[in-house]
Amino acid sequence: MERVAREAAKNLREMRGKSGLDEVLGYHEGDPSRRVDRLSEDYILDSLRNLGYDFLVVTEESGTIGRKEHEMIALVDPLDGSTNFVSGIPWSSVSIAVYRSDDFLQSTAGAVVSVNELESYSYDESGVYHNSERLGEVKGRNANVILSYFDETSVSLFSSVYQQFKGHKVRSLGCASMDMIITCLGRVRAMIELRGRLRNVDIAASSSFCVKLGKIPFDIKGRPLSAELTKVDTFRYGVITAFDEETEAKLRKILSEIEMNLGES
């Protein structure tokens, strides 16, 4: 999968600057689907067919493609961070995760490749890799940065969480798969998505990458992420990932207290 995702990212790099890529062809729960998304999806679908496996493919753009009788399932985001891409902001990726089981957090193999740098973050049943080299122990940095996604319906919830992280900076970068990757590598403290709008295809590969590193993504109710694999599915209760055990425990405690207070009000 690393090779397929890398070639797709290269293809996107070659398309940069061409006219018409930002044309909006439709919407998925409020998020635009652009021509560049479709072009990248077509490229990946052709690449997967050439591998010789019988895939059931689930993509952000076209939904479910393939037969009910299949060897494996592939969850694909052909361009995560498409708004960044068409705006010239260098933070977008290609994400592919392949499954033999029905457990969202137990993908067999997958990869996230950044479009700008062509850096790959991949995994298989044997290990976790950065640019095809096996990762050793991940120590992380002392980075007091939180990546967050919130909107008008969840800003008060984020404010309640953020008040407990004094001295931390907040960034919203616009590419969830890469955001999750750099969180699990310890480059930032946590990623907190509270809108309930991320989908399984957005973070399938990055979630399994994190699990391989011992970081379990969870929702605001404290449950490990779970999703359907045969169709596009949305994490209605948000997505949270923390680099270290202390931060994860703190986030779980804060969210549990908030939920308890809401239940009493």
Sorted by where each begins, the domain ranges of the chain are 2-134, 145-264
Give per-residue pLDDT as tens, 13-35. 999 888 888 877 776 666 777 88
Tell me the residue ranges of DSSP E strands in 66-158: 72-80, 93-99, 109-114, 120-124, 127-130, 133-134, 145-149
CA distances to 79, 94, 115, 119, 121 from 10, in Å = 12, 10, 7, 11, 15
Q: Are 76 and 96 in contact (CB under 8 A)?
A: yes
Give per-residue pLDDT as tens, 64-92. 998 777 889 999 999 999 999 999 999 99
Tell me the residue ranges of DSSP E strands in the chain: 24-28, 31-34, 55-59, 63-65, 72-80, 93-99, 109-114, 120-124, 127-130, 133-134, 145-149, 169-171, 190-193, 239-242
Q: Are 177 and 217 in contact (CB under 8 A)?
A: no
Provide the pLDDT confidence category of residue 264 given band limits of 50, 70 and 90.
very low
CA distance 194 to 78: 23
- Amino acid occupying residue 33: S
- Amino acid occupying residue 145: V
Check residue 265 and give its pLDDT: 43
Q: What is the average pLDDT across 219-227? A: 96
Give per-residue pLDDT as tens, 27-60. 666 677 788 999 999 999 999 999 988 899 999 8
Give per-residue pLDDT as tens, 136-194. 888 887 689 999 999 998 999 999 999 999 899 999 999 999 999 999 999 999 999 99
Largest interatomic CA distance in the chain: 56
User: For the domain 2-134, what is the CATH code?
Assistant: 3.30.540.10
What mean pLDDT value characterizes the chain?
A: 92
Q: Classify domain 145-264 by CATH architecture.
A: 3-Layer(aba) Sandwich (3.40)
CA distance 148 to 176: 10
Check residue 30 and give its pLDDT: 63
Between 27 and 246, the more confident residue is 246
